[in-house]
Chain A
Amino acid sequence: MADVTLRIFRGNREGGKPVDYQVPLTPGMVVLDAIHSVQAHQAPDLAVRWNCKAAKCGSCSAEVNGRPRLMCKTRMDSLPLDQPITVYPMKSFPIIKDLATDVSWNYKINKKIPPFQPRPGVEWKMYQRDVDRVQEFRKCIECFLCQDVCHVLRDHHEGDRFAGPRFFVRTAGLEMHPLDGVSRIPLLKEQLGIGFCNITKCCTEVCPEEIHITDNAIIPLKERVVDEFYDPLTMLFRKMRGK
């Protein structure tokens, strides 16, 4: 089969530039295969993260032809092969080298979210219909593509005040857990900045696990914030209790 051109960003914190590599195409090849071929034969020091190569670990996130994708899941034959395929690191995170970015910010945000805590004295019975919607959120493989594409982070750099879609998904999974006894609603409003999201659904579009991030996680959480903080009756009640 023919060769294709991969235009890969090479560089580090100090800067860099795209470099072209010719790669022989094989049947069913994915972008990560092509990157591995470049590593093995042309650029052994090309930095890239990957683990499972089966879209289960969420390590090989990058921007392929300008679109946030998992490289292990992006078939070469789904891309126009008559022009170079561009592979760039995720833009929303500081670059380390080549395709590897510093995603440590996500791990810091994650620590702010109180973990699952069962209500005292719960009976450990749950029914499939009650766990279905939470299981959707737990499919998240932490590829951070939703974080990468979210304009609040990507263009407005609001990382200090805004947790991003991944952590609304995690919070939704905890808030909607049938046996959980903690409220994370004040946290969502005050520290995780859910109000910044204006539901453009970019995150939902790029999610490789097809989680309905906006419809099933963010909007219901926004509703809970509204109910708790802006419902006239609740507000009155809160005033009366002096809170």
Chain B
Amino acid sequence: MTSKYETHEHDVLIIGAGGAGLRAAIEALAQGARVGVVCKSLLGKAHTVMAEGGLAAAMANVDRADDWRTHFRDTMRGGKLLNNWRMAQLHAQEAPDRVRELEQWGALFDRTPTGDIMQRAFGGHTFKRLCHVGDRTGLEMIRTLQDRGVALGFDVFMECTVTKLLKDGDRVAGAFAYWRESGRFVTFKAKTIVIATGGIGKSWSVTSNSWECTGDGMALAYEAGAELLDMEFVQFHPTGMVWPPGVRGILVTEAVRGEGGILRNKNGERFMEKYDPKRMELSTRDVVARSIYTEVREGRGTPHGGAFLDISHKPPEYVKRKLPSMYHQFKELADVDITKTPMEVGPTCHYVMGGIRVEAETGASSVPGLFAAGEAAAGLHGANRLGGNSLSDLLVFGRRAGFAAAEQAKKTAMPTLDASQIESAEREVLAPFERSDSENPYAIHHDLQETMQNLVGIFRNDEDLRRALVELEKLKERAACVHVEGSRLYNPGWHLSRDLHNMLIVSEAATLAALARQESRGAHSRLDFPKTDEVVWGKKNNVIVKKGDRMTLFEVPLREMPEELKQILAEDK
């Protein structure tokens, strides 16, 4: 039946090879599973390499008073208490072990004078908590995990894009994919699947995200019947580059502020004194992003519409040592020497706190056999993520999802693939070649990015969000007629036509959830509902699910927190 296509069979199939996917693969291998990893890019290029500032874990190497309780409290407060408290607890408790494990696999973090892993300050963290390697922590992490996985022996399918999850009754049975290189199709059969495909930032025009971040995993899971949680919470990182135009949105690590960087407006005022006098530049990302945005909107922005971020008061050698890639990035791309001159920065779409709704312990979604971890999953970060909590999230929950997926695979027989599902997946993907006289996908992508940037950005209101939904309907219609030129051989236009499908799903989910939440909390700021509403909205999450052909939204109450965690939250340090 499947002989028409190349087919591969694994116990556990992992979609995505960033930090979460690789950590899940390593754990599933350790449990004796046969593991396949499918990724859109070459191995080692996933967006995790872009993580700069560090990995949050209460190791207490620098600040002895740190412990998991404080990390838990910081994470919950940063997330404005909308977080899944059990995930926040597991994350804080397990992150130090996950860091030590990386070191035992060969990672080389910066050191303290006593020979331990160095930790730096970051926004919203009470103590110096971020283990780091200069400003290239993500690269160190992905290379370490990649080497470990290769040594243990997983099958890697590079430059291979999954377009559909296949099901056997209620449970997942495999995936349908194409090779980017040849355009040929391939099917994967697996007892369990872990989605670790990262974020959705490519739907906004000013973004720190790469072409890969098109919400594939969330869209795949949604179409397979899984639930999406907290999609209204999209993090705009306060500091992206704003000039020149080609680099607009590229990330400027929070480590600049962690190492003492100061934000000023065009009048030279240190404006964070107004917005968060206690934490200043090291306030949480939602607050700093809104502050910069407000300064610009009220006419106090820099020549290119941002704020000045200055680290030039530190010795040049120190800056080059602790922030080497920032130094090079500005010197080469913007002609700015950051050891002498301030940088111009502004908010950039960076991360989505929302994603596939999963169980805290296992990463299991509501679809049997389907798991998720990392940015593709939701819960840990609530309404706003703290810097450094993403890399630790990938490790803690990547491992948990890999473990649970392997355990479940042991108890499960190999499913069968359904030929009719495969045929319809193929038809869907090939359709853009068969049309003519319609638009190319780049134009539609451009308009989608403008829509999301202008109408579903940092500040939102009812009117904009309703308009966004209307625009998204039009974009869906245009995308349904998209035309692709050329052959199936390494054709980025064709690839984008499929990515568009996913971007439109996650964009609609983000907009619907943002419209529903009539309050401001964390990264979600409503101009028409500026207050945080603890009575109604502080007690529930928005969930998005596919009903028939329609995207529908329902609310779920937050689970009651156990007494001991409540006590930790109540303590003030």
Residues of A with Cβ closer than 8 Å to B?
12, 26-30, 33, 39-41, 44-59, 73, 75, 96-98, 100, 102-104, 107, 110-111, 114-116, 118, 124-128, 131, 134-135, 138-139, 141-142, 174, 177, 180
| Cross-chain contact A142 with B44 (CB below 8 angstroms) | yes
Residues of A within 8 A of B491 (CB): 44-45, 47
Residues of B within 8 A of A45 (CB): 484-487, 491-494
Q: Mark B143-169, 1 if CB is under 8 A from A, else 0.
A: 100011011000000100000000000
In angstroms, Cα B143 to Cα A135, docked, is: 12
| Cross-chain contact B136 with A128 (CB below 8 angstroms) | no
| Cross-chain contact B115 with A97 (CB below 8 angstroms) | no
Which among B243-251, B284-292, B405-413, B522-530 touches the partner chain?
B243-251
| Cross-chain contact A54 with B140 (CB below 8 angstroms) | no
Identify the interface centre among B113, B133, B333, B334: most chain A CB within 10 Å of its CB: B333
Total cross-chain contacts (CB, 8 A): 166
| Cross-chain contact B45 with A55 (CB below 8 angstroms) | no
Knowing A44-B440, A49-B42, the reply to whether A73 touches B492 (Cβ < 8 A) is no
| Cross-chain contact B50 with A57 (CB below 8 angstroms) | yes
| Cross-chain contact B247 with A56 (CB below 8 angstroms) | no
* B41 at the binding interface (Cβ < 8 Å): yes
| Cross-chain contact A44 with B441 (CB below 8 angstroms) | yes
Partner of B181, one of A30, A73, A96: A96
| Cross-chain contact B332 with A51 (CB below 8 angstroms) | no
Q: Mark B495-517, 1 if CB is under 8 A from A, else 0.
A: 01000000000000000000000
| Cross-chain contact B243 with A46 (CB below 8 angstroms) | no
What are the 3 closest A-B residue pairs judged by CB atoms, nearest first?
Answer: A28-B244, A45-B486, A116-B106
In angstroms, Cα B143 to Cα A27, docked, is: 34
In angstroms, Cα B446 to Cα A110, docked, is: 39
Ordered by A's residue number, 15 sampled pairs between the chains whose C-beta atoms are within 8 Å are A28-B247, A40-B446, A44-B486, A49-B42, A54-B251, A56-B139, A75-B333, A97-B489, A103-B42, A107-B43, A125-B116, A128-B113, A131-B110, A131-B111, A138-B133
A73 smallest CB distance to B (angstroms): 6
Further 11 A-B residue pairs, CB within 8 A, beyond A40-B443, A44-B496, A52-B47? A28-B243, A39-B442, A44-B441, A46-B492, A56-B325, A126-B108, A128-B111, A131-B110, A139-B139, A141-B49, A180-B106
Knowing A39-B442, A44-B493, the reply to whether A126 touches B115 (Cβ < 8 A) is yes
Which among B65-73, B97-105, B545-553 touches the partner chain?
B97-105
* B329 at the binding interface (Cβ < 8 Å): yes
Knowing A103-B42, A141-B139, the reply to whether A116 touches B105 (Cβ < 8 A) is yes
| Cross-chain contact B493 with A39 (CB below 8 angstroms) | yes
Question: Residue of B at shortest CB range from A174?
Answer: B106
| Cross-chain contact B212 with A51 (CB below 8 angstroms) | yes
| Cross-chain contact A134 with B108 (CB below 8 angstroms) | yes
* B294 at the binding interface (Cβ < 8 Å): no
Residues of A within 8 A of B151 (CB): 114-115
* B328 at the binding interface (Cβ < 8 Å): yes
| Cross-chain contact A131 with B108 (CB below 8 angstroms) | yes
Knowing A52-B49, A115-B148, A141-B49, the reply to whether A96 touches B332 (Cβ < 8 A) is no
| Cross-chain contact B333 with A12 (CB below 8 angstroms) | no
In angstroms, Cα B44 to Cα A179, docked, is: 24
Residues of A within 8 A of B334 (CB): 28
B486 smallest CB distance to A (angstroms): 3
In angstroms, Cα B243 to Cα A29, docked, is: 10
| Cross-chain contact B250 with A53 (CB below 8 angstroms) | yes
A98 smallest CB distance to B (angstroms): 7
